[in-house]
Each structure stands twice: as structure tokens, then as C-alpha cells.
Amino acid sequence: MTRDQQIRKAMALLAPPPRQRTECQHDIEVSLDRVERRTAVARSFRVAGSKKGKAGVKRYCAALRRLRAAYNDLDPAIRPWFSLAEIAYIVGETVIEREIARAEAFLDRPSPPPRRDASRNKTAVAAAYDLLQWWGHKAVVTRGGKWAQLAKILTGNQTVDLFDRLREFKRSPGSSVEKLRGARSILYRTHRR
């Protein structure tokens, strides 16, 4: 499902008054962005801990060590001409040393056990809940209800079953995004429920 299709379906489900359609569309876009951002962050953490991700970090760390060795082998009279020297040390380390330490920290973390990723579904359920609250709808835990339908739209997958995610969210909501309207602007603020 394309982003435009998601917006159209969500608009039809929320059914805002004609004067507020633009604001509602903006809220839907904010929610879709929220789902995408949080899913990307969760994916980056998952990839960094995977075998493939760790193998890439090992290669990166080895390349950095080779670079440090090559740089140290340069004649001291030539080194200042290259940017890796970074005369402005941060806590006594060069950029290369700092990057090697960061890569080694990634490698030292234990890999999590493999499991199915549900970050998109969880974020979509939370975003759908907030959207319904902003537009005066009640979020009811049912398979075919507005909350389930809107969460499916936000995931971009109409076939996914989110019922268990809805129940889990209802029991332990986590943080929410509060919408604050000003005279000329709208502010979105995250807070704990």
C-alpha cells in the first residue's frame, strides 16, 4: 500500500469535518512518519546485533586499525597535512581511536536471541491510538474496530492481525504523543501515560 493510499484510507476512517481535513491529513502524515522512524531505529539495533551486522562491524574495525597503522607509519613531518590527525583531541583520543572504541563496544555486546520483529506493529498500534484520541474516537479492542483498522493502515499491511498488540497496548500503554493546538501552530509532545 502506498503512502497516499494509507492517507486516503485513514482519512476515510477518521472522517474529519471538511474544515479540518488538512489538519487531519497532517496528523496522519505525522503518525506515518512516527511509524517509519521507530521501525528504522529498531531495525538498526537488530541489524547491529545480528551475525551479518557484527561481521560488517568486524571488517570496519579491522580497516580502521589498518588505517591507524598506515597513518602512524607516515613521516611525522607529513601527518599534519592529513585530516585524520585531528589536532583537537576529544578526551585524548583521535577520531580513529574513538571510532575503533565505538566499533569494539558494538562487538562486545552479546547478540540477542533471534525473534520476529514486531516494532512496526507495536508503533502502529500506539500511533493509531493517539490519532483516534486526537480526532474524538474511542479506541476499543476489537478485531474489526476502528483502532485495529487504523493500525493496519499505518502498518501498510491490511492482512496483519493486530488484536494481541491492541490488548497488550491497552494493558500497558507506554508513552503517547499529545497534540497541543496553539493560535497558529500545532505542537506534538511525547509523554508517559
Identify the domain boundary among 93, 108, 123: 108
Q: Are residues 133 and 88 in the same domain?
A: no
Q: What is the pLDDT of residues 107-161, one digit of tens each?
A: 888 877 777 778 999 999 999 999 999 999 999 999 999 999 999 999 999 999 9
Are 23 and 16 in contact, with CB atoms under 8 Å apart? yes
Measure Cα distances from 192 to 79, 118, 166 in Å. Answer: 51, 21, 18
- 73, 127: one domain: no
Boundary residue ending a domain (108, 132, 154)? 108
The domain containing residue 61 runs over which residues?
51-108
Q: DSSP assignment, residue 52?
A: H
Is residue 71 within 8 A of residue 82, CB to CB? The reply is yes
The residue to which cell 591507524 is assigned? 68
Produce one character per residue of 30-40: b if its CB has 16 or more CB atoms within 10 Å, e if not: bbbebbeebbe
At 82 the pLDDT is: 78
pLDDT at 85 over 60: no
- Lowest average pLDDT, out of 79-88, 97-106, 107-116, goes to 79-88
38 and 122 belong to one structural domain: yes
> Are residues 126 and 188 part of one domain?
yes
Give the mean model confidence (pLDDT) for residues 184-188.
Answer: 89
pLDDT tens by residue, 1-48:
999 999 999 999 999 999 999 999 999 999 999 999 999 998 887 887
Per-residue model confidence (pLDDT) at position 95: 80
pLDDT value, residue 44: 83
7-19 as b/e: b if 16+ CB within 10 A = bebbeebbebeee
- Domain final position from 61, 83, 108: 108
pLDDT value of position 40: 92
Task: Cite the DSSP H helix spans in 15-159.
Answer: 21-49, 51-73, 95-108, 119-134, 146-155
The sign one gets for the Cα dihedral 145, 146, 150, 151 is negative
pLDDT value of residue 31: 96
- State the Cα–Cα distance between residues 158 and 84, nearest whole angstrom: 50
Count up the domains in the chain and report the number: 2
User: What's the pLDDT at 8?
Assistant: 97
The residue written with cell numbers 492481525 in the block is 161
Looking at the structure, do residues 66 and 92 belong to the same domain, yes or no?
A: yes
CA pair distance 46, 113, nearest whole angstrom: 10
